């Protein structure tokens, strides 16, 4: 189950479509029973989170916070993905992408982080990007890289 928490009441986001798209991606990854929260925030909130958790005092597009439930609690709770739609909009303009495509890409990117994927080294980055491209292609979004 994917829950969208639109804390900034951003009307440019089609929450229903985003939720359905992410649920399909979870099923594709064999995680269809998992729970995922997508929280849409403003620049101030994401900058504060980025400063506290990544020690970078600047806004960013997406942050992922994995669930910290103990293994003994049998819940398929992936965690939270926090997205700043203001940054997504700016990036989509700069990169000549549609807002919705870029938002979907960043939500999937954040979701993959919750599933253990990363892009710290080149090999891991290639693996994560390939999976993103595959998932995005299945939902009709061109290669973002």
- Mark residue 110 as left, alpha or beta (left: phi above 0; alpha: psi -120 to 50; beta: remaining): alpha
Query: DSSP assignment, residue 140?
Result: T
Q: Note if the pTM is more than 0.85.
A: yes
Report H helices in the chain.
15-28, 43-54, 85-94, 99-114, 122-138
Q: Summarize the annotated binding site for Zn(2+) as residue ranges.
A: 109, 113, 119
Q: Which residues carry a binding-site annotation?
A: 109, 113, 119
The fold for domain 2-138 equals Collagenase (Catalytic Domain) (3.40.390)
pLDDT digits (tens, 9 = 90+) for 16-59: 999 999 999 988 888 878 889 999 999 999 999 999 999 999 99
Q: Which residue has the tokens 């965690």?
A: 79
* Statement: residue 72 has pLDDT above 60: no
- Indicate if the pLDDT at residue 69 is higher than 80: no
Give the residue extent of every domain in the chain. 2-138
The 10s digit of each residue's pLDDT in 93-111 is: 999 999 999 999 999 999 9
């Amino acid at each position: 189950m994917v829950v969208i928490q639109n804390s900034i009441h951003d009307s440019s986001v089609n929450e229903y479509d985003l939720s359905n798209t992410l649920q399909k991606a979870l099923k594709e990854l064999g995680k269809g029973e998992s729970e995922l929260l997508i929280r849409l925030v403003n620049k101030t909130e994401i900058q504060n989170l980025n400063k506290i958790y990544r020690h970078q005092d600047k806004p960013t597009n997406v942050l992922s916070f994995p669930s910290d439930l103990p293994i003994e609690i049998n819940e398929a709770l992936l965690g939270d993905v926090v997205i700043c739609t203001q940054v997504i909009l700016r990036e989509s303009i700069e990169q000549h992408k549609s807002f919705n495509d870029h938002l979907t890409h960043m939500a999937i990117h954040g979701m993959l982080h919750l599933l253990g994927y990363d892009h710290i080294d080149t090999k891991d980055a290639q693996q994560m990007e390939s999976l993103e491209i595959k998932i995005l292609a299945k939902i009709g979004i061109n290669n973002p890289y």
